[in-house]
Amino acid sequence: MPKKLQQDLVTCQYFNWRLGRRDGGVFQADGRSNQVNVGRHSLATDDRTEALDALRQLDMTMAVKFGLANAAVLQAPESMLPLDVGIKLYMDSVQLPPAMGGASKTTFKRYRAVFDKFKVFATKRQVRHWQSVSKRILEGYGGWRDEEEYAPASLYLEINTIKQTINWLIREGHLPESAKINLAVKKVGDSDAFCYRPEHVNAIMGHAFGIPDLHWLGNAIVGLVYTGLRISELAQLRWAAIDLDQKVIRIIDNSGSTAKANDLVQMSTKTHRSRILPIHPELLRILGTIAHHPDGRVFHGPWGGVLKPDTVRRVLVDAVLTPLKSKFPGQPGFRSFIEGRLHSFRHFFCSKCADEGVPELVVMRWLGHSTSRMVQHYYHLHDDESQRQMNKLTSVGGPITVS
């Protein structure tokens, strides 16, 4: 009677395998217990080290066969491209000057954050090379982020960043054409971000200006409320860009300029478009109370330091929104006051423009957008304004009589 086959459980990148042999014979790999039955196979060697190498190759072969991996994973080990190496190659190309097709510093940081999160997921899935990044892996990553209730727009950005990285690596010859991934990700059309109402904004500003240590935040909020600027643009704003005589702010994107850094303060906008924005009287009043700092910036953070978006966001939530939360309770199934963020002030600015009849073309110029579709992305018609517009409709005939 043959001896019982002694087996060890070996977890590879795609499947679990029972590895064993009888009486010192050749090793066998049994993968029938997986969700996908990948069968039992001889590894054609009685040497354990060679058997483990053969098992890893078998694991990839079965993954390709059952559509879990690209055929690119079957390349020779020395030609496999590690994730970190591919990321560095791509990020080096992104760091080129904007005039040469490179990305802005903000975009660079956003890409870096995407890769940091993707590497965490890849490590959990034992994905070490770009050839192992398949459609199945990206779908798994999307599901992982969705479980964390990640914003759809952010998920769209992350998946497409990884896809465009793979496409770039293919174009540059670092990956074979078979590594290309066809995975459609639906772009979010309308914004589901919370939009403040006037009573919210009044309470926020009143709270911030009511606490001396938060006056810096109050100044920044006034800047956001009456300009619609992004927080990154507000943080870069210099006194040199403000013309108090003409009462305008010149938002200048010179990120593509060839001038030396010593001759020009580098500034950038998300769309790389410059624009001129009139100064609202309330903002003009606040600007008159802000002392000029040696660094030339208009708005500053706590203790006079550089205004950092992450710091502003954290203090807004912890020191303002949370204390005020009980005044503005939300409704189940709808976004509420406590979920407002810095970008919500941009939504509020655009909503207020819509409510008060500012032409879309004007708002487009103020916000720095080239199409009305992007302006409509921010337009929120509040319930009271909606009711006011409904009341303008004339009745059809006389009053309705119900017998």
Measured distance CA(130)–CA(12) in Å, rounded: 17
Residue 186: partners with Cβ closer than 8 Å, 6 or more residues away: 152, 156
What strands, in cross-sheet order, belong to the sheet with 275-278?
242-243, 248-251, 275-278
Q: Note whether 299 and 171 are same-domain residues.
A: no
Measured distance CA(32)–CA(9) in Å, rounded: 12
pLDDT tens-digit series, residues 265-322:
445 555 556 788 999 999 999 999 999 999 999 999 998 999 999 899 999 999 999 9
DSSP class of residue 2 equals P
The total number of structural domains that make up the chain: 3
The pairing of strands 248-251 and 275-278 is: antiparallel
Q: For residue 80, tell me if it sits in a domain.
A: no
| Predicted pLDDT of residue 56 | 84
Q: For residue 401, tell me if it sits in a domain.
A: no
Segment holding 282, helix H or strand E:
helix 281-287
Write down the residue that tokens 């066998």 correspond to.
Answer: 28
Looking at 179, 214, 242, the residue that finishes a domain is: 179
CATH, residue 149:
1.10.150
| Amino acid, single-letter form, for residue 351 | S
Looking at 179, 209, 236, the residue that finishes a domain is: 179
Looking at 51, 68, 85, the residue that finishes a domain is: 68
Q: Note whether 331 and 233 are same-domain residues.
A: yes
Q: Note whether 372 and 259 are same-domain residues.
A: yes
β-pair partners for 281: none
pLDDT tens-digit series, residues 79-121:
788 999 999 999 988 887 766 666 677 778 888 999 999 999 9
Measured distance CA(58)–CA(331) in Å, rounded: 54
Contact call for residues 46 and 25 (beta carbons, < 8 A): yes
Q: Note whether 339 and 208 are same-domain residues.
A: yes
Q: For residue 82, tell me if it sits in a domain.
A: no
pLDDT tens-digit series, residues 281-293:
999 999 999 999 9
Q: Note whether 378 and 239 are same-domain residues.
A: yes
Percentage of the chain exceeding pLDDT 90: 38
Q: Note whether 213 and 342 are same-domain residues.
A: yes
Q: Note whether 277 and 149 are same-domain residues.
A: no
Q: For residue 102, tell me if it sits in a domain.
A: yes
DSSP class of residue 245 equals T
Q: From 228, 186, 203, select the one nearest 344 (Cα to Cα).
A: 228
Q: Note whether 225 and 332 are same-domain residues.
A: yes
Cα angle, residue 313 at apex, residues 309 and 318 outer, rounded to 5°: 150
Segment holding 143, helix H or strand E:
helix 135-147
Measured distance CA(209)–CA(321) in Å, rounded: 14
Q: Note whether 166 and 231 are same-domain residues.
A: no
CB atoms within 10 A of CB 100: 8
Q: For residue 160, tell me if it sits in a domain.
A: yes
pTM: 0.58
Burial of 384: CB neighbours in 10 Å, binned 0-12, 13-18, 19+: exposed
Q: For residue 353, tell me if it sits in a domain.
A: yes
Q: For residue 304, tell me if it sits in a domain.
A: yes
Confidence of residue 383 (pLDDT cuts 50, 70, 90): low
| Amino acid, single-letter form, for residue 76 | A
CATH, residue 210:
1.10.443.10
Q: Note whether 332 and 371 are same-domain residues.
A: yes
Q: Note whether 18 and 120 are same-domain residues.
A: no
Contact call for residues 40 and 31 (beta carbons, < 8 A): yes
Confidence of residue 151 (pLDDT cuts 50, 70, 90): low
Q: For residue 285, tell me if it sits in a domain.
A: yes
Given a cut of 70, whether residue 260 has pLDDT beyond it is no
Domain containing 360 equals 198-387
Q: Note whether 172 and 245 are same-domain residues.
A: no
Q: Which tokens belong to 152?
A: 């759809």
Confidence of residue 154 (pLDDT cuts 50, 70, 90): confident
